[in-house]
Structure 1
Amino acid sequence: MFERVEAEESAALEALARKVRDELAAAGLPVLPAGLNPVLSGGAEVDVDDGADAAGGVFVGWQASPRLRACASQAFRTGHLDDPVVRHSSAIGIAMMQAMSAVLASAGFGVEDARDEYRPHQLRVLTGPPSGQPPTWQLRDDELAIPGRQDHAATEAD
């Protein structure tokens, strides 16, 4: 029987997945919204497996465009494994895993190859950035200050 992690651990996995989505989006990558059927779009897909076993965790995969996936699928179905689209599709998956791994590692995430036959060309996110480390893309204090605001407040107080 499938057992899920406790609610607190599930919430922590979801929070980690949100941070991963945010960081990949900040890098300019298209990110599939949680729950969107990947048949509708391409981009980074962040998945939470809340199983209470070694296969659970946060995973990142890459979905090429629906058109490229359809072409590769057609080649597989018809037995044309030497079709260039098969090689190209695989090369894209490998390249995007390397790129997303580098982006996440640079942002302070711990990542590794998923090492799971059911998750080929996917990453497992082990940890998020250190606690208290704000994202590099977060609004800065000088961006929050409204020009002229302090002068206007001081004038009103006089």
Structure 2
Amino acid sequence: MLEKVGAEVLAERERVAARARDELVAAGLPVVAPGLNRALSQGVEVTVDPFDDDAGGVSVAWRSSPRLESCLLRAAKLNLLDDPAFEHQRVVLDAMLAAITAILESAGFTVRNSLNDYAPCTLDVPAGPSGSPSWGLREEELTVSGRSTGSGGSAGGSEY
């Protein structure tokens, strides 16, 4: 039986997953909300595995639109192996996983192809950055124009 990781490790995985979601949204990618019904979801799916094994941790996958997935299921059920949806889905997955990898690595994450044999088209994200994100508020954005908070200045003045 697989053992679960401790509370500290799980909390770190949750932090990395949340930060990865934020970075991917900041880049403009749609991100699947945790717990969203699979029939309604499309975009980047970031999940946390609570188990202590090589395949555990933070996983990232691309979920194509429900319509494309429906076409794939239909072709598979009818054994239509030459259906163009299969090749298109492969190209989509390759492109999106490459883009996700580039975005996360640029933001300071460690990204690798999944070690989980049951999830071949996913990425593992074993570690993430701890500093401020590149898209975060800058100090100069927090300063109100025309107001001084230093000595000698008037915080209540009207210097606009």
- Runs of 5+ unmatched residues, structure 2: none
Give the counterpart letter for 2:52 in structure 1. A
TM-score (norm 1): 0.91
Give the 3 Å change call, closer, same or farther, for CA 155–51 of structure 1 in structure 2: same
Q: Counterpart in 1 of 2:96?
A: 96
Q: Secondary structure at the match of 2:155?
A: helix
The separation in 1 between residues aligned to 2:69 and 2:84, in whole angstroms, is: 13
What aligned pairs does 1:33-44 form with structure 2 within 5 A after superposition? Answer: 33-44=33-44
**1:112 to partner: Cα distance:** 0.4
| Distance in 2, Cα, partners of 1:40 & 1:155 | 52
Q: Whole-Å Cα distance in 2 between the matches of residues 94 and 155 of structure 1?
A: 57
The answer to whether 1:83 aligns with 2:92 is no
- 1:140 match: 138
Query: Higher mean Cα deviation, 108-117 or 19-28?
Result: 108-117
Number of matched residues? 154
Q: What do the CA deviations read for 1:25-66 (whole angstroms, capped 9, x no partner)? A: 010000011222232120000011111111211010000111
Following superposition, the deviation at residue 121 of structure 1 comes to: 1.3
Determine if contact 2:16/2:128 at 8 Å carries over to the other structure.
yes
Q: What CA distance in whole angstroms lies between the structure 2 residues aligned with 1:143 and 1:102?
A: 28
CA distance in 2, matches of 1:12, 1:46: 14
Aligned AA (1:148): G
RMSD of Structure 2 on Structure 1 (CA): 1.6
* Partner Cα separation in structure 1 for residue 4 and residue 37 of structure 2: 23
Identity of aligned residues (%): 47
- Structure 1 stretch displaced more, 71-80 or 145-154: 145-154
